[in-house]
Chain A
Amino acid sequence: MVKSLTEAERQIALAISVAVAFCGLVLAAAGTQDTIEVHGWLILIFGAICAVVVIRDLWEPEPPKSRLESYYDDPIKAGIIASMAWAVVAMFVGVWVAALLAFPDLTFDSAWASFGRLRPVHTSGVIFGFGGNALIATSFHVVQRTSRARLPDQLSPWFVLVGYNLFCILAASGYLLGVTQSKEYAEAEWYADIWLVIVWVTYFVLYIRTLARRKEPHIYVANWYFMAFILVVAILHIINNLAVPVSLGHAKSYTIWSGVQDAMVQWWYGHNAVAFFLTAGFLGMLYYYLPIRAQRPIFSYRLSILSFWGITFFYMWAGSHHLHYTALPHWVQTLGMTFSVMLLVPSWASAGNALLTLNGAWHCVRDDATLRFMMVAAVFYGISTFEGSFLAIRPVNSLSHYTDWTVGHVHAGALGWVALITFGSFYTLVPSLWKREKMYSSALVEWHFWLALAGTLVYIFAMWNSGIIQGLMWRTYTEEGTLAYSFLDSLRAMYPYYIARTFGGLLFLIGAVIGSYNMWRTIRASPSSAAIEGDVPLNVTTAVVRG
């Protein structure tokens, strides 16, 4: 990877690595009595490893000028591998925490293995580790292809990818150490948050620079979504994580928001992390890889526009539906509910657009498990957005809130939509990136598909059942007008479903392991000789050579 950097880029990379290592040293020195010391050393080691990697190839010859006649795909490959590694690890932790709810003594009497610490490792691991790496990798791929332009330099994509993974490592390891803000999906502490801002701004600038170099007059719809994802996640992340650190030597910080305002900011963030991380970015994937795989153009351009602006505008209002019947003022709850219901329109516009694109290609869906991954993803996107609008209605929420129904809903989206569209995109991308004719085994893709689908269904049916039972038990009255069930009664009723959901999650995990193995074997296979026709950036020079 370092060999493809120019000499100047290698020097900057070395300087950045040393600077990162130095920051680690400062944190380690300042925080000798605090858990931040561990993170200081971790950052130091990370920076040092990067520096060594750069130094090893520092004096290699410059990459040839001919590199500019092809797309820059190395960081995309690394991103896919990182994404699948995070998937396996974080889904394993998911199965583990699911098991903990049914078998709570699996914690070995140690702090790091308790549910409360492992749960954010699972959530951040799948959302940011698996999902984030997948988004970074596919966005680099899509923006180059749809712009017919190479990434503007070799260093910044690596900085974004490697820096982002440093954030993920700091986040996940921090939770095990007890470093957390206890803000859902934004648990990482202040220094990791600041680092993510630096990485994210670089990502944004890189994306805009690539778009500025485009040879196509129009920006393709997939890029609209990736842009919305990058931009809005930056806004959300910065505002929600504003905090006062206890000191430079403390991992702990106190958020500047408090009470009801904090609740609103948190769920404005939380719900839009779903919207712009787990929806917009992955719709970017859908709008590129689904038509590519189906060999059909997107069904409707107008629907794409309607859906994009609907999602971008409506979602930002919807967060307050997480706070129905709470101390949040009623008018904010009502606004959140209203916009959540209206969200169904742009959501279904995209789901419908995807499915209608497949018209004329349904025989491919039948035969090709990769395309089937994406088709089912679109279906689950439709189902979970409908469920989301439904659960946001205040009286429905009175039953579903605080129960496993919410967890089931999240997983219908996260497993059925986010993970399946990612796997479908990866199965399209891996053979083409590594110049292989096809995946190592299409039978294993089939196995992965059916395991993933079965796992998702088992999981969400278990959670629907447990959630609705729980919600009903909590509000059931006896003839005498007293509450019929104690909290413990409702917990006892949950155990069978907690075991079922662990099993569903296990199926999904096995699928992901099989997928990783299949991709690994594909990468290790010998390359096919035939290059993909036209998969090059449109340069003046190449145009002349070809002309």
Chain B
Amino acid sequence: MAELFHRKLERSTIGFVLAIVAAASVGGLVEIAPLFTIDETVEKAPDMRLYTPLELAGRNIYVREGCYACHSQMIRTLQDEVERYGPYSLAVESKYDHPMLWGSKRTGPDLARIGGKYSDFWHVAHLTNPREVVPDSNMPAYSWLARTALRVDDLPLHLKALRAAGVPYTDAMIENASIDAYDQATPESSTSSGVADRYGKETQVRVFDDVATEVTEMDALVAYLQVLGRLTDAPYKNTAAPQKPPGPVK
């Protein structure tokens, strides 16, 4: 009988189209829709900070250069990963990430907790020529970042678009986005306290690329790298133990 029914279905284009849509919709609906309704999906972290405009600009450079192709930002709940990279990643940490940059490949190491592990100086040297500091590295050199001025005039538009997508940037943050980006990388400027007021006192205000006269793409990218894993303390308070990797580990 099943076959008989199918022979009927095969004679109707519209029927077949509808059947495909029906069959193909179920999986996505069951797996995706509840992620928006089940509260435990994303942990609560009241101390979760937003990216400052400079860090956001740095993140956009990370996106633009396709860094996700070789670096993950997702420490799995496996013991060896936790020992190598730090506490495993929580969903709340990428709550404001549009898009998420969890990645799928580690040609280079995971970067979820890279913030604060190395000095700004190291990052600048490494991005300028990775083989200067890591002789066997196969990462491309990004020396032009330090030669390229960062575009900051359109940052309010970026924050506005993100607010439309659900990130709670305030009017003051949007209004001051350009100046905040500039100030975060030039601590001597008279208004540089504004960025810390708006984004929290943990905000790292300093010259990232060692050149105080100009805000470059290098400043932005290093500012972003240095804040990775440091937007909330939640992962360090998480008590569930990571799992031992399955199989022989001796």
Using a CB–CB distance below 8 Å, which chain A residues touch chain B?
Answer: 33, 100-102, 104-105, 107, 109-111, 114-117, 119-120, 175, 178-184, 187, 208, 211-212, 217-219, 224, 227-228, 231-232, 235, 239, 243-247, 250, 252-266, 268, 302, 305, 309, 312-320, 322-329, 332, 335-336, 339, 395, 398-399, 401-403, 406-407, 474-477, 482-483, 487-488, 491-492, 495, 498
Contact = CB atoms under 8 A, between A and B. Distances in A.
B161 to A, nearest CB: 5
Contact of A175 (B17, B66, B246): B66
B246 A398 contact: yes
Nearest to B153: A33
25 contacts: A100-B138, A101-B107, A104-B137, A111-B65, A117-B65, A187-B66, A219-B16, A235-B21, A244-B162, A247-B154, A253-B161, A257-B99, A258-B96, A258-B166, A259-B94, A260-B35, A264-B31, A264-B32, A264-B35, A317-B31, A398-B245, A477-B80, A487-B108, A488-B137, A495-B138
B40 interface: yes
B136 A339 contact: no
Contact of B161 (A235, A254, A257, A327): A254
Interface in B109-164: 109-110, 130-131, 134, 136-144, 151, 154, 157-158, 161-162, 164
Contacts of B211: none
Contacts of A250: 154, 157
Contacts, number: 281
B24 A117 contact: no
A192 to B, nearest CB: 16
Contacts of A239: 28
A239 B16 CA distance: 22
Contacts of A179: 64
A115 to B, nearest CB: 5
A436 to B, nearest CB: 34
B44 interface: no
Contacts of A401: 76, 104
Nearest to B62: A182
A325 B76 contact: yes
A492 to B, nearest CB: 5
A259 B101 CA distance: 8
Contacts of B41: 260-261, 329
A492 B135 CA distance: 10
Interface string B50-91: 000000000010111111111010101110110110001111
Given A263-B100, A329-B41, A324 B141 contact: no
Nearest to B139: A104
A104 B130 CA distance: 10
A475 B96 CA distance: 31
Contact of A100 (B92, B130, B137, B140): B140
Given A228-B24, A264-B31, A104 B140 contact: yes
Given A244-B164, A260-B42, A487-B84, A181 B99 contact: yes
A252 B158 contact: yes
Interface of B: 3, 6-7, 10-11, 13-14, 16-17, 20-21, 23-28, 30-32, 35-36, 38, 40-42, 60, 62-70, 72, 74, 76-78, 80-81, 83-84, 88-110, 130-131, 134, 136-144, 151, 154, 157-158, 161-162, 164-167, 243, 245-247, 249-250
A260 B100 contact: yes
Chain A contact surface mostly: helix
B66 A247 contact: no
A534 to B, nearest CB: 23
A487 B32 contact: no
Contacts of A217: 11
A309 B3 contact: no
Nearest to A120: B66
Contacts of B109: 487
Contact of A265 (B32, B38, B72, B151): B32
B94 A258 contact: yes
Given A257-B99, A475-B80, A235 B24 contact: yes
Contacts of B106: 402-403
A407 B161 contact: no
Contacts of A212: 13
A319 B13 CA distance: 28
A329 B27 contact: no
A346 B147 CA distance: 54
A313 B24 contact: yes
B20 A232 contact: yes
A266 B99 contact: yes
Contact of B23 (A181, A182, A313, A495): A313
A244 B62 CA distance: 19
A316 B24 contact: yes
Nearest to A232: B24
B66 A182 contact: yes
Given A259-B95, A260-B94, A312 B24 contact: yes
A257 B40 CA distance: 18
A499 B83 CA distance: 31
A336 B31 contact: yes
Among B98, B139, B143, B154, which residue has the most Cβ atoms of chain A within 10 A? B98
A105 B138 CA distance: 8
A119 B69 contact: yes
Interface centre among A179, A247, A253, A475 (most CB of B within 10 A): A475
